[in-house]
Chains A and B, each alone.
Chain A
Amino acid sequence: MIATRLAARRFAGAVALLAAGILAASSARAQSDYPNQPITIIVPFAPGGASDFAARLLQPRLSELLGQQIVIENRDGAAGNVGMDLAARAKPDGYTLFLGNVGTVSINPYIFASLRVKPLQDFVPVSIVADTPGLLIANPAFPPNNVKELVEYVKARPGEVNFASPGTGSVNRLEMESFRREAGLDMVHVPYKGGAGPATADVMGGHVSLMFVTISSGINHVKGGRLKALGVSTKERVAQLPDVPTMTEQGYPKSVSSSWQGILVPAGTPQPIIDKLHKAIVETMKDEKIRARMAESGVIAVSSASPAEFKAYIEADAAKWSGVITEIGVKAD
């Protein structure tokens, strides 16, 4: 009786071992021949926007390097939270990638209290792909021509100068809030809805004096003389706008920021897959054609030295913005 029970237990153990072995083997095989099916990139914004633009630019080359078709799925809504939620709950097998950006990953968690996703826990960063600097623009008739003059002008008129933003919780608003604190300026915030377009139009029409925009949405208006640029939020000047000084050189080193975009995968994705993706993304971002296309609109094609470096980058970015958010007290729900 005891013997049979023992035998049974031994048998069960053997079966369990065998099953584990098969599972391990199959998962190892799944990793080694990854990717063997099309890969989906979830873009949490509508087609035609900056994120979609970045995803579609790198799609052909990345697909070529990985030897698999890459499908871009636009799942917009709730400031990108809908798509982020979907991506976070996807199977962590390397077949669902998430195109995160400064808004979804670094800002939204501190603005939307009801957000279920905790980006730094639910995702593993792979690599940054695009660095989109912020551009401080103003109506051409607005007297100050650089940041120094702006600070003097606003200090002489506390609470009189208005600045626009594409939304209460947008990175462009936070960039201005951060600069405003650094320089000790009292200005009125005028929020807009529906992307940078409507806000830019009102700065162009002279209804609001100035705002931060992403360089890609401002560069053409600046080059066309419709708007003037007072500063750019990079450490070094941007090649496309060589005459525009950085915020740092004008004395505001804290005003270094970027509307970055990068690839993340759901937490639990096997490390070999992450490494393989990282290698392919780094290679993709070296592509001259992609670099040139991004540069046309002032965007800098970049990649992270390692997934860990990207993680550190996001952590620093999130810490910076959450600090600004706490200070000014923006909160939804």
Chain B
Amino acid sequence: MELFNDLLLGFSIALTPANLAYGFLGVLLGTIIGVLPGLGPVATISILLPVTFALPASAALIMLAGIYYGAQYGGSTTAILVNLPGESSSVVTAIDGYQMARKGRAGLALATAALSSFFAGTIATVIIAVAAPALAEVALDFGPADYFSLMLFGLIAAVILAHGSVVKAVGMILVGILLGTMGIDANTGLERFTFGIPAFGDGIDFAVIAMGMFGIGETISNLERGGESRTFLRGVRGLWPSWTDIKSIIRPAIRGTALGSCLGLLPGGGPVLASFSTYALEKKLAKDPTRFGKGAIEGVAGPEAANNAAAQTAFIPMLTLGLPSSAVMALMIGALMMQGLSPGPQLMTQRPDLFWGLIASMWLGNLMLVVLNLPLIGIWVKLLSVPYRMLYPAIMLFCCIGVYSIHNNALDVTMAALFGGFGFICHRLRCEPAPLLLGFILGPMIEETLRRALLISHGDPMVFVQRPISLSFLILAFCLLVVLVAPMIRVTRQKAFEEGAE
């Protein structure tokens, strides 16, 4: 009953015309920047943060939150349409979403992304409302050793993302990890692979690699294919999901929401980890895993639900403990502080209007996003009928603007161009970029948590098996490895037998 009253209070705040308008402005802006490659929620919120100082606290928070989850929505649009993930969490969506688009099912892919995101957003909002304080405690229990084991598990799962050769996927993950080591080392303060260039001190930005490998690399590959690349522009059909489609979306969306809600609580790569572990899960559960990477609708529904759920539950540590789990959440805390509010456990009791207003606005924001995005699908799909000699220069231009906007640094644009060339070579060698990006994101986190866990245990590696959470993930990682390797051995043996029989 108390929950009902709290939610009622929340909706009474979120439904005021002004807050509705700020919420709508937030999700609209979020969608736009999500669609623009490179310009992510962190940059946008940074730019708009000063503007919100003049607003009332609830309006400011509602608008900033709207930008954040709006960007998660928008990021998948370009991932599906032109294989250009706008945000790190939509890298996975690009794998099957783009293939669906190439097969003329862009509308269906977009609708799937929007609907499963809405579903996940709704559930995640309920989870926050019901269990936020309890879940925050769980997040605190996660120590460096537990993170390490989870990330290791994630890294092994990244292999499943590849639909081609496993060896190539492992190779790409390793290249990603190497790229991730660039920059100033957190433990010793030493510079690694910076070539004496100060701008490399913070490493390479994720967007630089993503824009290069996906956006520019894809463009070069399409030029090479010439006329053939226009095939996906023909016969756009099935804008709306049929009943069979919806049936195949529901289960992945539920699983994605569950995984995403859990992983979102953890600091760092919550939404990214969520989206690709869901993808790996769906691929393993599918009756015919070979469909993945060729336009499987589950490969869009699951990850999209997961990244949206994770984006939402990432608010829990911030709202209940005042601890930021990501750069975006750190900005939210900054916004609260500028409002003269102290983020922390007392926020919920001191300013229930703010806490519940934000929660109510999350659900409303998700609703707005669906209402905003579903009609837009028709327009987005029409965009694909733009002749590609005009579409691709536009993509290149947006890539350059997006990459430049991150640090106002021309070096980033050059780097993106270099990664474009590298992406093209990888494309020719049939090495997929998604495992590389995951290695790039997870590698540094694994290193950091491994060294931290060992520092805390004073060098005793037993800490990884003594902690129950850590041990569980290690066992899972081992099982996954067996599942991955076993078929390879079987296939090799089968081949050997076949060759023997000839």
Contacts and interface: CB of A to CB of B under 8 A. Distances in A.
B466 to A, nearest CB: 13
Interface of A: 46-49, 52-53, 56, 72, 74, 77-79, 81-82, 85, 111, 114, 159-160, 162, 167-169, 188-195, 197-198, 200-202, 204-205, 207-208, 216, 219-221, 223-224, 226, 293, 296-297, 330-333
A322 to B, nearest CB: 15
A217 to B, nearest CB: 9
Nearest to B452: A190
Contacts of A220: 322, 342-344, 346
Interface of B: 46, 49-50, 53, 140-144, 184, 186-191, 194, 196, 198-199, 201-202, 267, 317, 321-325, 327, 330-335, 337-338, 340, 342-346, 407, 448, 452, 455-456, 458
B340 A226 contact: no
A198 B267 contact: yes
Contacts, number: 133
Contacts of B342: 219-220, 296-297
13 contacts: A56-B50, A77-B199, A79-B201, A162-B455, A190-B452, A190-B456, A192-B186, A193-B186, A193-B448, A208-B456, A221-B322, A297-B337, A333-B194
A201 B337 contact: no
A202 B455 contact: no
Contact of B143 (A78, A200, A207): A207
B187 A191 contact: yes
Contacts of B267: 197-198, 201
B196 to A, nearest CB: 7
A191 B188 CA distance: 9
Contacts of A188: 455-456, 458
Top 6 A-B pairs ranked by shortest CB distance? A48-B334, A220-B344, A205-B140, A332-B189, A207-B143, A168-B189
A125 to B, nearest CB: 24
A47 B334 contact: yes
Contacts of B455: 162, 188-190
A114 B196 contact: yes
B181 to A, nearest CB: 14
B322 to A, nearest CB: 6
Given A56-B53, A192-B186, A198-B267, A81 B337 contact: no
B359 to A, nearest CB: 20
Contacts of B333: 48, 197
Contacts of B330: 48-49, 194-195, 197
B344 A72 contact: no
Given A193-B448, A197-B324, A332-B184, A48 B49 contact: yes
A330 B323 CA distance: 28
Contacts of B188: 168
Contacts of B343: 220
A66 B199 CA distance: 35
Most chain A beta carbons < 10 A, residue from B188, B191, B198, B267: B198
Contacts of A223: 344, 346
B202 to A, nearest CB: 6
Contacts of A111: 189
Given A53-B334, A168-B188, A293 B340 contact: yes
